[in-house]
Copies of this chain bind each other. A is one copy, B any other.
Amino acid sequence: MRRTLEIPRREGNFSRILENIYKPKDWKLFATIITGKMLGLIAVIAAMIFLPSIIGGTPAHAADTYTAHETAVINSLNTVWTLVAAFLVFGMQAGFVMLEAGFARKRETVNILVECVLDTAICGISFWAIGYAFMFGAGNGFIGQQYFFLQNVPATYGSTGVAILAHWIFQFAFADTASTITSGAMIGRTSFRGDIIYSIFVTALIYPIIGHWAWGPDGFLALMGTPGHFMPSLGQPFRDFAGSSVVHTIGGMVSLAGAIVLGPRIGRIFLRDDKKQGGLPAAHSLPLATIGAFLLWFGWYGFNPGSTLSAMDFEGIGRVAANTTLAACTGSLAAMLCALWIGPFKGKFDTGFALNGMLAGLVAITAPCYWVSPFGSVLIGLVAGLVVFGGVYFMEFLRIDDPVGAVSVHGFAGIWGTLSLGLFASGQFGSTGPLGADNTSVVKGLFYGGGFDVLKAQAIGSFTITAATLLVSFIVMIAVSKLPYPFKLRVEPEGETGPGGLDVWEHGAEAYTN
């Protein structure tokens, strides 16, 4: 349909035709007529350009300008897409509660359930009051300072025309995910009041402020590499498409700090101390854990593809969804085969590694999913499966009790995923203009001939987020652990070992009765 180039030729032909036909004798008359004709033509062309907008039709506009009707439809479509994605991400709460409860011992199950409910409630309130403001408000490179209590928000967020409250709920669901991850490695010995206190810090301060660095409109990692920025000019910003670092590494590192400060559950034997009796206690309900993992995968289809905030980037959302799928598949397979061939579960098809490998693949593909090819995703997931397998044994070696493998799945695989963009970004996929997604310039990684620049930017970003989270989390966890009973982080020993365990101690109920 685009025939812009033919027009001059046509005009040329037309002029020549005119010259051949008009051979008037009376030049004066000819001049009069031809002047009139030219003026008339100009008037007609001008009318053709302006008349449609005057009489109410489609205004003449540049190819990338939308009419009011088109903009309304596009904003609505993008908002629907973002909301559906937000709902799927929220649905991950059901997945997390099942996964964590399933992997836990029966005696600490109710505690997980109620913690998950309460963390969500706290997250909603604090993300409404200050979290969203710190994370997505403009301010400076370190913290946002707009939109407290969702006051004075504009109608839409960003360039894709998503309704601002749809963006809020999408980001609330992300914050809630990070918040839920934090409790994973702290299962079974955290006091409920201690959990409330550190959760408020995580959802109101740690997650939004560190998140602002990468995702805020003026975050210093997001703007890294642009002129005038204080960081070494790599020419590359830090990129984290859907949060391998922002959500998962932060969640995993808070969890790690908590697990270290808490120490292991009473009676927990590590694999390095006893090859036979050691290792994680048996999961109290593998069906619960497996269904939870599938629901998490299901919810990840909101997490990753939804992060375009734009349905108009329709090739992008298809690609992200396919990449997410493939990494989950290879992650699961890799971890399961490792467990089959190596280590104490040799010869058995282990459920825990099958599920945690799947989740590690999902966590890893979260940062690079927009910019890598399906083939790259297959490999990124594969390595994530190895990372989580090694991570779980490394934690055993360090004698850190992580009942669900949260540190390995979210922390270690999150770091791998963030770095993997620097290797696998294929240089094929990027911004599709105003119809498309934010934040999607073309990126080329090491394996595709892009050199080390992207990898360096990713390493700087990942290290910054990992280190900052660990540092602040240790401070918070140690502070909470010094509080007096009943607010201190670790529950009393009789809470852990008494009849009915933590569930009866904190919640006055057992998970299952007759």
- Contact residues of A between 37 and 86, Cβ < 8 Å to B: 37, 39-41, 43-63, 65-66, 68-70, 72-77, 79-81, 83-84, 86
Task: Provide the bound-state CA to CA distance between A10 and B386, in Å.
Answer: 72
Indicate whether A68 sits within 8 Å of B76 (C-beta atoms), given known contacts A43-B14, A298-B91: no
Min C-beta distance of A12 to chain B, whole Å: 13
- Any B CB within 8 A of the CB of A322: yes
Q: Looking at the complex, which of A289-297, A399-407, A411-419, A462-470 is the stretch in contact with chain B?
A: A289-297
- A111 nearest in chain B by CB position: B349
Indicate whether A317 sits within 8 Å of B166 (C-beta atoms), given known contacts A57-B52, A63-B56, A282-B510: yes
- Scan A335-375; emit 1 where CB is below 8 A from any B CB, else 0: 01000000001001111001100100000000000000011
Partner of A117, one of B98, B325, B358: B358
- Any B CB within 8 A of the CB of A97: yes
- Scan A95-116; emit 1 where CB is below 8 A from any B CB, else 0: 0011001000111011001101
B90 near A301: Cβ-Cβ < 8 Å: yes
Number of interface residues of A (CB under 8 A): 156
B124 near A284: Cβ-Cβ < 8 Å: no
B113 near A284: Cβ-Cβ < 8 Å: no
B77 near A76: Cβ-Cβ < 8 Å: yes
- Any B CB within 8 A of the CB of A499: no
Interface-centre pick from A285, A325, A354, A435 (highest chain B CB count, 10 A): A325
- A6 nearest in chain B by CB position: B54
A73 CB contacts on chain B under 8 angstroms: 70, 73-74, 77, 312
Indicate whether A378 sits within 8 Å of B128 (C-beta atoms), given known contacts A36-B33, A166-B314: yes
Task: Provide the bound-state CA to CA distance between A317 and B101, in Å.
Answer: 33
B287 near A113: Cβ-Cβ < 8 Å: yes
Indicate whether A163 sits within 8 Å of B314 (C-beta atoms), given known contacts A1-B56, A87-B298, A345-B508: yes
Indicate whether A59 sits within 8 Å of B61 (C-beta atoms), given known contacts A66-B69, A117-B332, A192-B349: no
B37 near A36: Cβ-Cβ < 8 Å: yes
B319 near A513: Cβ-Cβ < 8 Å: no
Partner of A87, one of B88, B282, B288, B511: B88
B165 near A319: Cβ-Cβ < 8 Å: yes
A22 near B36: Cβ-Cβ < 8 Å: yes
- A295 nearest in chain B by CB position: B94
- Contact residues of A between 277 and 328, Cβ < 8 Å to B: 281-288, 290-291, 293-295, 297-298, 301-302, 305, 311-315, 317-319, 321-322, 325-326, 328
Partner of A24, one of B6, B14, B32: B32
Task: Provide the bound-state CA to CA distance between A48 and B294, in Å.
Answer: 57
Task: Provide the bound-state CA to CA distance between A216 and B509, in Å.
Answer: 45
Top 5 nearest A-B pairs by Cβ distance?
A163-B318, A124-B329, A166-B318, A165-B318, A348-B508
- Offer 30 A-B interface pairs, CB within 8 angstroms, sorted by A: A14-B43, A21-B36, A22-B32, A36-B37, A37-B40, A47-B48, A51-B60, A52-B60, A56-B61, A66-B69, A72-B435, A73-B77, A77-B80, A80-B81, A84-B84, A87-B88, A87-B301, A97-B290, A105-B514, A106-B514, A110-B286, A117-B293, A117-B355, A121-B330, A122-B329, A125-B333, A128-B378, A163-B318, A166-B321, A345-B508
